[in-house]
Amino acid sequence: MEFKEGLTFDDVLLVPKYSDITSRSQTDLSTKLSRNITINIPFVSANMDTVTESSMAVAMARVGGIGIIHRFLTIQEQANEVLKVKRSGSVMIENPYSISSDKSIQDALDYAEDKEISGLLVVDSNSKLVGIVTERDLLFAGSNGTVADVMTKDVVTAKPGVSLDEAKDILHKHRIEKLPIVDGSGVINGLITSKDITNNTDYPNASKDKKGRPLVGAAVGVKGDFLERSESLLNAGTDVLVVDIAHGHSENAISTVKNIKKAFPDCELIAGNIATAQGAEDLIKAGVDAVKVGVGSGSICITRVITGSGVPQLTAVMDCAKIGNDHGIPIISDGGTRTSGDATKALAAGASSVMVGSMLGGTDESPGTVLTKNGKRFKVYRGMASLAASIGRKSKETGSISLDDDLNDYVAEGVEAMVPYKGTVNDILKQLAGGVRSGLSYCGAHTIPQMQENAEFIKMSRAGFAESQPHDVSLM
């Protein structure tokens, strides 16, 4: 048997090339996520239940990347997470939340808390605007009485077609934060808020859809309700679906791709994970718009230990990128990225974007609570094939877990771990993006495609790797 050599990020370096770049700001990190979607930085947050829900997806979109909402939620819960992202940065919210004037104050409090919003438009029995209720109206109001008792009745409104500058003038003139868009018959057409306007200014590099809303993706499985889930997610505004399966070069994955594309031919669809050129070829033939590459390379993945299967990540990306280039389909490197240098190598090897998980776990925006151990703060981070995740997935699918279940039926391919609490994800993304910009300059490239053309890898020994690390000093 002939053995092929496989390399990963620590096995190689990029050879520095002449550069005419005088400032990192001269580099452009925009890249293709999928066939028809472009993002402004090449980073995607992983579809893991300890990494990406709406908070992470909003943060990713605001800096120019994208987050993929994990699928270990009910269909409605996952769709609601997508809606939260879409409503977080719209120029105009098309279907603002409203409440009937005869509902109780407690109903309004519960509804606002559930939707994580600060105010509700109030409508009558004919769905026409009659008022607005905000946090100030509800503060100290108690739970007795109706919405009509506390709402602000004289609402400043604007007509459909109002420009953003006109809306800003109205908001400033009347010292208000919310401007309902109402037609001549009193029916609500939308809502513009001061927060949405400032977000447009504060996040100029944000990745947005055609309506100016943040881009967001969502994952689906390959069994059971995947078509129903896909439909609900697309109706909620999901920009891209991700078929999420550990072994993507399988009949389950390929048939799921074909079924989703048949039912929703216009949807953007990513599938994986695979680690070979043939796997990429077969998924592309099935109809995907991007391929996710990586088997066993994640920090909490033990697939290679349990199954003996996998391909070192750099080789996997290079092999799959050749096929992707032939078909015009982007490749996403998923797993093994610990530093901005690893991300740069993955991009230079042919990936259009990099999916990151452990680097984003432990941040304020990742799901879960902060734990304290020995005076230090942590958050839980786990693989989606870990024992706890597998049991949790079954409880979501069946509604319960039997005490009679044999735990030996669960063959874990991931582990659970604690990662240090890291604060806001924005700081991490700035460092990642800055490192990749520097990586482009060392390759003499202004753009990611140019870096891929210029890239020259050199293999290094263990001594070379040791030389790359801080050495012969006592670290502070």
Q: Distance of CA 104 to CAs 98, 117, 304, 335, Å?
A: 13, 17, 56, 49
Say whether 427 counts as a known binding-site residue: no
Active site residue 320: no
Q: What's 21-82 look like in SS3?
A: CCCHHHCECCEECCCCCEECCCEEECCCCCCCCHHHHHHHHHHCCEEEECCCCCHHHHHHHH
- Beta strands 119-123 and 268-274 are unpaired
Q: Is 472 left (phi over 0), alpha (psi -120 to 50) or beta?
A: left
Say whether 53 counts as a known binding-site residue: no
* Collapsed DSSP state (helix, strand, coil) of residue 322: helix
Say whether 385 counts as a known binding-site residue: yes
Say whether 184 counts as a known binding-site residue: no
- Tokens for 63? 């800096």
Name the residue with tokens 């669809």. Answer: 269
Say whether 111 counts as a known binding-site residue: no
Say whether 203 counts as a known binding-site residue: no
* Strand partners for 44: 66, 355
Say whether 421 counts as a known binding-site residue: no
CA 418 to chain centre: 21
Q: Where are the beta strands (DSSP E) in 294-443?
A: 331-334, 353-356, 371-373, 376-382, 416-420
Say whether 382 counts as a known binding-site residue: yes
Q: Which of 267, 301, 320, 443 is catalytic?
A: 301
Say whether 335 counts as a known binding-site residue: yes
CB atoms within 10 A of CB 351: 33
Say whether 358 counts as a known binding-site residue: yes
Say whether 296 counts as a known binding-site residue: yes
Say whether 108 counts as a known binding-site residue: no
Say whether 445 counts as a known binding-site residue: no
- Known binding site: residues? 244-246, 294-296, 298-299, 301, 334-336, 357-358, 381-385, 413, 467-468
Active site residues: 301
Residue stretches of the annotated binding site for NAD(+): 244-246, 294-296
Q: Binding site membership for K(+): which residues?
A: 296, 298, 301, 467-468
Numbered residues of the known binding site for IMP: 299, 334-336, 357-358, 381-385, 413
